[in-house]
Amino acid sequence: MLLERERKDIVEYGKRMIERGLTTGSGGNISIYDREQGLVALTPSSMDYADIRPEDVVIMDLDGNIKDGIRRPSTEINMHLLVYRNRPDVNAIVHTHSIYCTAIACMGWDLEPVHYMLAIAGRGAKCSKYATYGTPELAQYALEAMGDNGACLLGNHGVLTAGPSLERAFAIAEHLEFVAKLVCITKSMGKPNLLTDEQIAIVADKFGTNPYK
């Protein structure tokens, strides 16, 4: 079975997404890119994470040609492949519909720097324009919004995170949901005290996530 270890990791982290409240049912998707083999492992379309087995994970090349698997790949195949083609530092992607990040994305807001943990994504997480799920347009909007950072919000949709490993991409998704929750709470209390770009950059330097360093 091609990319057996990666397939098992995707199954594990899919269940973890559900357990930690980052998505529901079959919402969102996960992928890992093995650059040495030029192959991507991607979650299947429309399968509940509780039911996915390693053999259900789809293997393809960067052109989307299926190399192994018994299922249809996630509808967001375009988004995953476009990021991998344009970001040599990215080897894993996590897309979730976490409540607070998605709420902010439904407002069309960038994720504001109310807490220094935003820096785990680099200089921040901007919100993309809306496009129908699974389309090349959404993939392009996501790539543009992410820039050189490790995440972006998807307008009226969810959040996309990326990193050198699945562990890092998942950690970014978790921490951004924490920051998004703080944004929603602090805005309900009044006007949040936002950190400056310089303050976020200092923390990004400490985290090793500053894309401009």
Task: Specify the pTM.
Answer: 0.96
pLDDT of 150-209, one tens digit each? 999 999 999 999 999 999 999 999 999 999 999 999 999 999 999 999 999 999 999 998
Mean predicted confidence (pLDDT) in 4-14: 98
Rounded to whole angstroms, the Cα distance separating 67 from 81 reads 15
- Position 11 confidence tier, pLDDT thresholds 50, 70, 90: very high
Q: Is the pLDDT of residue 212 over 70?
A: no
pLDDT of 71-122, one tens digit each? 999 999 999 999 999 999 999 999 999 999 999 999 999 999 999 999 999 9
pLDDT of 122-141, one tens digit each? 999 999 999 999 999 999 99
State both tokens at 205.
């330097």
Say how many C-beta atoms besides its own lie within 10 A of residue 198's C-beta.
Answer: 7
What DSSP string runs through 131-200?
Answer: --TTSHHHHHHHHHHHTTSSEEEETTTEEEEEESSHHHHHHHHHHHHHHHHHHHHHHHHS---PPPHHHH
Q: Is the pLDDT of residue 213 over 90?
A: no
State both tokens at 108.
């069309």
CATH architecture of 4-207: 3-Layer(aba) Sandwich (3.40)
pLDDT at position 209: 87
Catalytic residue numbers, as ranges: 76
Sole residue written with tokens 């919004």: 145
pLDDT at position 211: 76
